[in-house]
Structure 1
Amino acid sequence: MSARTKARKRALDVLFAADVRGETAEQSLEAESLRAAARPERASSWPYAREIVQGVIDHATEIDSAIASHSTSWPIDRMPAVDRGILRIAVWEARYNPEVPVGVAVDEAVELAKELSTDDSPKFVNGLLMAIVRDEDAPVS
């Protein structure tokens, strides 16, 4: 597993924890930063995980707006928390991280959904992300 794949999982852990615990992503990020400092064996994946979470925080309004406007069957607050986190990560990578090709962002999100969510989630995540990235009106940084 690549360092970036591990970082995406760590970022998802942070976002999921915030969602489930009812805390802000900033609070969850700070708590994970403290844990990361105490676990040097996991140091290689932490910088990118932190960048992802901070990017999701910085662009939360735009990311959630894109997800909500393209999800015709599920309001964002009704989506499983893990799917919501996966989608936020993928939208951030696709729109705001020029180092990650859009196809890679989508593929990685679908793989996370296959591994960590429901049987229907990979298809849902893929369809929603494809709608978002195909939308020519969607602002890109």
Structure 2
Amino acid sequence: MSARTKARRRALNILFSADVRGDALPVALAAEAQRAASEPERQASWLYAREIVDGVVDHADEIDEQIAAHSRDWKLDRMPAVDRGLLRLATWEILFNDEVPTAVAIDEAVELAKELSTEDSGAFVHGVLARVARST
């Protein structure tokens, strides 16, 4: 598994846990930063995970607007928390990270959705992200 794939998974864990617990993302990120300081062997995945979460925090309104606009008949608060986190993560990569090809951002999110969420989540995440990508 590549360092970026590990970082996406780590970022998703932060996004998901903050969402489920009702914590502010900066608080969840600070807690993860403390944990990361004691795990130097995971430093490579931590740096990109932090970049993702910081990006989601910095662009939260725009990201959520894009997701809401392209998730036909699904409000953000009705989506499974895993799907919501994946959509935020991948939408940030599509819109704000020129280093990641759009297809890679979508594929990684879809694979995580298939692994970690509902039976229909892979197709749902793919559809929303494809529409976000086409709109840019």
Q: What is the identity, as a one-letter code, of the residue corresponding to 1:3?
A: A
Deviation string for 1:94-127 (max 9, x for gaps)? 1100000001000011011011111100000000
Matched with 2:101 is 101
Deviation string for 1:48-95 (max 9, x for gaps)? 000000000000000000000111221011100000000000000011
Q: Which runs of 5+ in 1 are unaligned?
A: none
Q: What is the identity, as a one-letter code, of the residue corresponding to 1:118?
A: T
User: Following the alignment from structure 2 to structure 1, what is the Cα–Cα distance between the partners of residues 129 and 42?
Assistant: 29
Give the 5 Å matches for 1:51-130: 51-130=51-130
RMSD (Å), alpha carbons: 0.7
Q: TM-score, normalised by structure 2?
A: 0.98
User: Following the alignment from structure 1 to structure 2, what is the Cα–Cα distance between the partners of residues 44 and 102?
Assistant: 22
Residue 51 of structure 2 is aligned to residue 35 of structure 1? no
Name the structure where helix makes up a greater proportion of residues.
2
Q: TM-score, normalised by structure 1?
A: 0.94
Aligned sequence identity (%)? 64
Deviation, 1:17, is 0.7
Deviation, 1:39, is 1.3
Residue 7 of structure 2 is aligned to residue 7 of structure 1? yes
